[in-house]
Structure formats: C-alpha cells, structure tokens
A and B are shown apart, each in its own frame.
Chain A
C-alpha cells in the first residue's frame, strides 16, 4: 500500500510568492514541490506525479497559460489538475482565457488562505481516492489471475488419474469379463460411467476456464454466417436430427470470432437438444428491432424451463432438467462468461412447454 503523501507543485518566478504559498499550505497532508519557471515546472511534471499544480500566470519567458498548454500537449502530463494564480484584475476576458487554457480553477491575488486550502484539499482527496481504486483494481486483477491459474492446473492434474481409471477398468472388462458375474460386470460398468462423467466435468471446467482467460480480439463477425455454419455442422452429424432454422442474413457484430463461435455453438446445440421431443421443432436466430442497442436472440419451441429458477440458469453445473436431457449444465455458464467478456448482458425467457428465448447484447468496443 502506497503511503507516500500526494505532491503539490508550486510554480512562481517570485520567491516571496512561493514562500507565501508554502506558508498557507505547509500544514496540509501533502508534499510541496517548488518551481521557479515554466521550464522547471514542465521538467518536474515529467519526473513526479502531482495531485494538483498551482500555476502563477505572470512569469517571464513562459507565462502560466503557456505552461498549462505544454502540459496538456504531453500525454504524460495532460491530466494534472491546474489552479491558476493571477494578479490580473478580474475581468471576464482573463477568466475566459484561463479556462481556455484548460484551468480547473482560477484564483486572484491576494489569495484567501482558507479558500486555497479548501480547493487544494479537494484535489488531494481526489488523488488519494483514485490511487486507492487503482490499488484495489490491481489486487483484484492479481487474485483473478491466481484463481484462473489454479482452475486450469487443478483441472489438468485432476485429469491424470482418469487415464488409469478408464484404462484398467476397460482392461478388466476385456480380459476378465468371464470371471465376473452379472453384478460384477454391472458394478464395473458403473465405475467406467462415473469416470467418464468426471472426465466430462473436468473438460467443461477447463473450457470455462479457457474462455475466461483467452485473449479477446475484436473483429467484425457475420453472425448470420456463423449461425448457418454451426447449423450445418450439427446437421452433418446425423445423430442430431434436423430442425427448421430461421436465420436472417447480414447480422453482424464486433467481437472475438473464436469466442462468439463457442457461445453460438452452445446456444444452438442447447436449442437442438431441448426441441428433441417437438413434432415440429423450430429454432430462430435474430435481432430485435426498435431498441437503442442491438439485442440478439436464439429462440426455440422446445421444452422450455421454469422461470422461477431463471437466476440459476447461467451458473455452472446448475441444471433445470433431469436425466432425460444429457449434459453437465456448463453450456449457459460458458455463454454467460463470453457475453460478459464482450461487455454485454444475457437473459432467458421461457415457460415450461412453451420454448425458450435467450436474449443477449454484444456492444461495440
């Protein structure tokens, strides 16, 4: 935690003025740094971070407005707040010129110490607040990175014992089936099935972890073409059967092509799965009209879900259907993660037996 005091830069060519400012601000919780000229000020601005700069306007060679202009021209020094201190008689013109140069405030001499201290305190508080936020963000980022690395390595290491579990149980069945009775073979089959489920769970966790960590590279993605391609792939794998699919052309969005593909694969495969029992299964992809933002949806006329449990929908491994529909319950959690990484939102609407619609946004960067 950074406990160093915020710094305040005092810029004035007249020594007496600097001493006066130091007298007014001396007891405040900050470190006062002085500069005698514009050039010295600009030099110091590059070397240190300041919570605020008190800038005398009337200086030889470079006046305060020029110093502020130079500071704003440099991306490293652009954001330092400025309080101009000027002796010019208060006229509308001088005030406007002060604000033109990007001043945050303009004080006229003679300075009221109380007023100056209050204004400086505001900037000190702002500075400390921002620094605290930055530290918190950094800490969260580190924790997140650790959690993701842990997720990934646990999933990988958890997988290793599955090889002998699956391998030796298979060998047992192949070589010793005749030495086992029906019950023995049944128990062995259950062991193999459980190992298989564990493998699937780990794969799902790995996928979720990967989707959370993968770099996001934005490009213009033709969502219509993407949906059509995925639908063809699902159809080509004959075991899935066919569905009526409605997909308008030309719907595009800005996003990561790989991650968007994973999201749509999950949504479309879900729609395919839950319309299994429909006599006329129908899946639709589209974009709602008349909204200020583009809201896409994938809709099916399948078995639907109970909206009472809608808040569980996007959590990993939360299933709202029983064993009649295969799956570990990771698909929507993966879609949710991908949509959120794009800065979007996702929600589902449904009633049992009345199909389901999943709405989501993919805001432009």
Chain B
C-alpha cells in the first residue's frame, strides 16, 4: 500500500525540522514533503513551476498562516478555488490563536485548525493524533 503523504507548508526552518521529527515519531508512518512557502506549495500541488507533472496529491496538507510571498489564507483560497484541490484535507497549523484567524481559516474552507505548542513533547502528541486521524480514520476524496 502506497505510503501516506503529508505536505507541510512552513517557512520557518526550525519549526519545519521539528515538525518532520515529530511526524517521524508517530505510529502511523508517512512521508513528509516540505514546501518553504505558498508559491512552492501551489507549484507542487498544481504541477507548475519547478514541479511539473506531479500528479499525486498528499493525504493531508499542514498549512502555516504566516508565509512569505503568498500567505497561508491566500494559499487556502486558491486550493479551494481549483477543483483538483477543492476537497483536499487542509489542517491549519499556526502559532496564532486569534479569533479572527480561526474564523477566516474555517470561512475559507480549512478542515481543521491547530495551534503550534511551545513545548516539543506536546507537539509530538499532537503529531501522533494528527497522523492517527488524518492518515487512517479520515476518508478523503480519492487521489487523482
């Protein structure tokens, strides 16, 4: 059975490194692909730019909100506007707990909103739960 794929859209290299480690420690195994900003992520998902003809969508997208060039909410808007990625599970994973960010996320069609904790041990637990849910329990639209 093909390995599960997580697309992590995170510009902060430290946060990305720790996230990859946390997901490696989870019981449900996956391949974590990293995009350093919104443009790279959209190129990968739509098979444009430097990632021509990828064809395989991830099982879940982890989206940070504060991104350079194209910010997180704009990435989400474009994903939902395109029928190839309209139903792609997107989990916003960010440091902001501001009401209006949470509302904007859901309003634009995010499936879930998670706050990045400061303590790494807590982050490992969250990664465990995210993998268990989004990679096995959750049913998504078949990958094209």
* Cross-chain contact B21 with A171 (CB below 8 angstroms): yes
By a CB distance below 8 angstroms, the chain A residues around B144 are none
Interface centre among A167, A170, A199 (most CB of B within 10 A): A167
Q: Judging by beta carbons under 8 Å apart, are A163 and B96 in contact? A: no
Whether B121 pairs with A156 at a CB distance below 8 angstroms is no
Let me know if A163 and B118 touch, CB within 8 A: yes
Q: How many residues of B contact A (CB 8 A)?
A: 14
**A170-B121 contact in complex given A163-B14, A164-B15, C-beta closer than 8 Å:** yes
- Complex interface: chain B residues within 8 A of A163 (CB): 14-15, 18, 116-118, 120, 123
CB of B119 within 8 Å of the partner chain: yes
Total A-B Cβ pairs within 8 A: 36
User: What sequence of 0s and 1s flags, for each residue 84-98 of chain B, a beta carbon within 8 Å of any chain A beta carbon?
Assistant: 000000000001100
Q: A166-B118, A166-B119, A167-B120 are in contact. Are A159 and B95 (CB under 8 A)?
A: yes
CA distance A88 to B15 in the complex (A): 85
**Interface presence of A168 (CB below 8 A):** yes
Q: Scoring B residues 7 to 22 as 1 if CB is less than 8 Å from chain A, else 0, what string do you get?
A: 0000010110010010
In the bound complex, do residue A159 and residue B118 qualify as a contact, i.e. CB atoms below 8 Å apart?
Answer: yes
Q: Enumerate chain B residues within 8 angstroms of A199, measured Cβ to Cβ.
A: 118-119
Question: A160 on the interface (CB 8 Å rule)?
Answer: yes
B25 to chain A, nearest CB (A): 10
| Contact assessment for B95 and A167 in the assembled complex, using a CB-CB cutoff below 8 Å | no
- Ordered by A's residue number, 23 sampled pairs between the chains whose C-beta atoms are within 8 Å are A156-B95, A156-B96, A159-B95, A159-B118, A160-B95, A162-B118, A163-B14, A163-B15, A163-B116, A163-B118, A163-B123, A164-B14, A164-B15, A166-B118, A167-B14, A168-B14, A170-B120, A170-B121, A171-B21, A171-B120, A196-B119, A199-B118, A199-B119
Which residue numbers of B lie inside 8 Å of A, CB to CB? 12, 14-15, 18, 21, 95-96, 116-121, 123
